[in-house]
Amino acid sequence: MTAVTLESRLGTAWKKPPLISNPALRWGLFIGAAVYLVLAVSSIDVNWARVAEGLSRGWAFITSFFNPDFVSRGTDIRDGILESVIITVASTVVGILISIPIGLGAARNIAPLPVYLVCRAIVALSRALNEIIVAILLVAIFGFGPLAGFLTLSFATIGFLAKLLAEDIEEMDKVQAEAIRATGSTWLQWINYGVQPQVMPRLIGLSMYRLDINFRESAVLGLVGAGGIGATLNTAFDRYEFDTAAAILLIIIVTVMALEYLSGVIRAKVQ
């Protein structure tokens, strides 16, 4: 048997199937992406001289991570972090308290249509607006200080928690809720014994996650004057005090890690 007949008997070799099976769509997407990339990259003008000049500063920043300065701006850092923590805690608590009724209202299976539409509109508005933009507007209205930051994060928490809570309620097991209703419970008892136990573990998990997000966000609110560590961080960067900036960033990273670990433990416990 010659090699040619063996080849013809075996057929053609296996080839990896392409990701998008339609060739016209595949090549269209590919060429479109290539054209966009060329246009986009060419429209970014990078001042390479400035970048090269900055590299030594970047290196100084990286090395300052191994030699952070917690002391020389110690009081500023302590006050800023404390204010960030206060804003985080207060806004998370208020945000959760407000998002529970809104979440109940935004769940189609327990709320009448007008309530549902109003609550969904609040959720959509809160989610579409970036925290920083809300903070700018609230600082303009309420003046500088932690109150604007507190209101911003509460508002952002409402959109996040109410949406996820409503989705969780919409997916709940109807049988349990109906069993409570069949006992002749009032509406409040129905929510308390039929709905709440089903969504509580997830709500606690999400609240912990939001606490974590709020702390991270509170670190930047200071940039627009809404209180917290951001103002100190901004000053440190402006003055090229990289060792102080590195100290602040390390505190933020360690706090976020601790919060993530804590939320993992709590979530594992409630689920």
Partner 1 sequence: MPVSTNANGAKIWQLRNRNQTLARWAAYLAGVAVFMWCWQRISDATTWFFVWDAPRIAADIGGRAWPPRWSYMDKLWGPLWDTLNMATLGTLLALVMAVPVAFLAARNTTPSAVFIRPIALFIIVATRSINSLIWALLLVAVIGPGVFAGLLAIAFRSIGFCAKLLYEAIEEIDHTQVEAITATGASRWQVMAYGIVPQIMPAFAGISVFRWDINIRESTVLGLVGAGGIGLQLQSSLNTLAWPQVTLILIVILAAVVIGEWVSAKVRGAII
Distance CA(230)–CA(232), nearest Å, equals 5
Choose, by CB under 8 A, the member of 132, 180, 191, 266 that binds partner 1: 132
Return the number of the residue (162 or 233) whose C-beta is nearest partner 1. Answer: 233
| Contact status: 182 vs partner 1 (CB under 8 A) | no
Take residue 96 and report the two structure tokens written for it.
Answer: 């959760």
Residue 90 in the binding site for partner 1 (CB under 8 A): yes
Q: Does 219 contact partner 1 by CB under 8 A?
A: yes
H helices within 129-194, ranges in order?
131-142, 146-170, 174-182, 187-190
Q: Does 22 bind partner 1 (CB under 8 A)?
A: no
Which of 93, 118, 172, 180: binder of partner 1 (CB under 8 A)? Answer: 93
Residue 263 CB, nearest approach to partner 1 (Å): 13
Amino acid occupying residue 144: F
Binding characters for partner 1, 25-54, by CB under 8 A (x = yes): -----------xx--xx-xxxxx--xx--x
How many Cα atoms within 13 Å fall on the side-chain side of residue 200?
10
- Give yes or no for residue 140 binding partner 1 (CB under 8 A): yes
Query: Assign residue 11 a region: left if phi > 0, alpha if psi is -120 to 50, beta otherwise?
Result: left
Which residue lies nearer to partner 1 by CB, 71 or 124?
124
What are the distances in angstroms from CA 213 to CA 75, 136, 160, 218, 263? 25, 19, 10, 9, 12
